[in-house]
Structure 1
């Protein structure tokens, strides 16, 4: 117990170790999705060229969140020093701090995701994630810098409210890195196993519904790690994998889903929201 807390308390000081966790998770599920694919994806060029586009956004996402890490540490330490936040008001103890911190930060992921789908201007940034027509493990960190920055702000807000100590923050960040790779990976799980997982955690099939090209399925299943936010807040939905089609039915040309510069500039380009785009 003490060893685990010590390990995660100082993990933010070991960026290479954190990067190894991210890279290891991506590589692991890259191999698994090759062995048991959910769909036999027909990439526009190759799987590697598709990955390069997504890795470009991943690098920017990591740069932004590395910069925000300074604020995360300062805010978490301020909460500890002043006794501010749910963790301290409830005198939760170490395990209580882990539970409160992890749940609060996971709710921040659900909340910012929901907001980006509901607010038209913010959706412009988030649609870069949804524009991927070939969802695989590399899609998980395909976020426009504007999307990444907003996620960081909500993360800070929930640290402020919860008072999450750094070991709780790092436990959650490790969980979300692994879960994001798992839920986006193009892997086929036994349907009963996938459903059993989905009662507590976001399962691959559950999250693939969120990447279905058409509403209302796109506007459902917002969770990152735990599935109960969607179940409690009425945003849970199901769709058989055989019926899922990736991409967007409007807002962005599906034929350009691997055009890195066009995707980067897209939030600033005026578009007709009523146009429908069926080409994949």
Structure 2
């Protein structure tokens, strides 16, 4: 991804060890904790705990500024591209004004209004404070442990969490959360899958609008990342037989296909997973 000359967003908040939010419990939320949080609709993000098995992404990075942390600088530039894309999409396709989220880059553990988090929870978006949370050590895990390396794969992860903010701006998160509160666990999981696939489609819209920054192989990096964080793939990697009724993000095939749908169309109206009879 060609980011030379791209501005860095100012909507970035750096948190190092011992700064900005206290300490989460040892081992983080883990699989049970993440599912419990998702069940009551606190935050939505990429659940990698079935793969990491309750561990954390180890990171000894000291507290730093965006300027002297390369991963943070990269994230700030990617965030800036999402700001430009969604400002234009909201204006041109929805006739609305877009208010961007803040991105919290933390080291190891942090706290949010949606609860504590560490590297095992994966990146997530908290609608309570309209912030996306990211331990950039996750990029290393994405590469080494999931086989989804590359700068555009990392950019896709950021774009996916920003897509949840877009859903929040449009009132979709609150509507789905209310529906999940009334549903059974299996039904709630199915609603969450539709929410996540919509975010993948919206990530594709972002990618479609930054084609000029893409290099050869970037699209495949994003599609590969989408596949490697599918529920079926993660459960198999954890040595389990995939259980569709427990899925909260969709299969690898579904995630890649909905991303491609957003990329090919560039239209937010094509991302309505709740109107789709088949996912």
User: Per chain length, whose mean CA-contact separation is higher, i.e. which structure has more relative contact order (CA < 8 Å, sep 6+)?
Assistant: 1
If you compute each CA radius of gyration, which structure gives the higher value, 1 or 2? 1
TM-score, normalisation: structure 1: 0.29
Higher strand share: 2
TM-score, normalisation: structure 2: 0.29
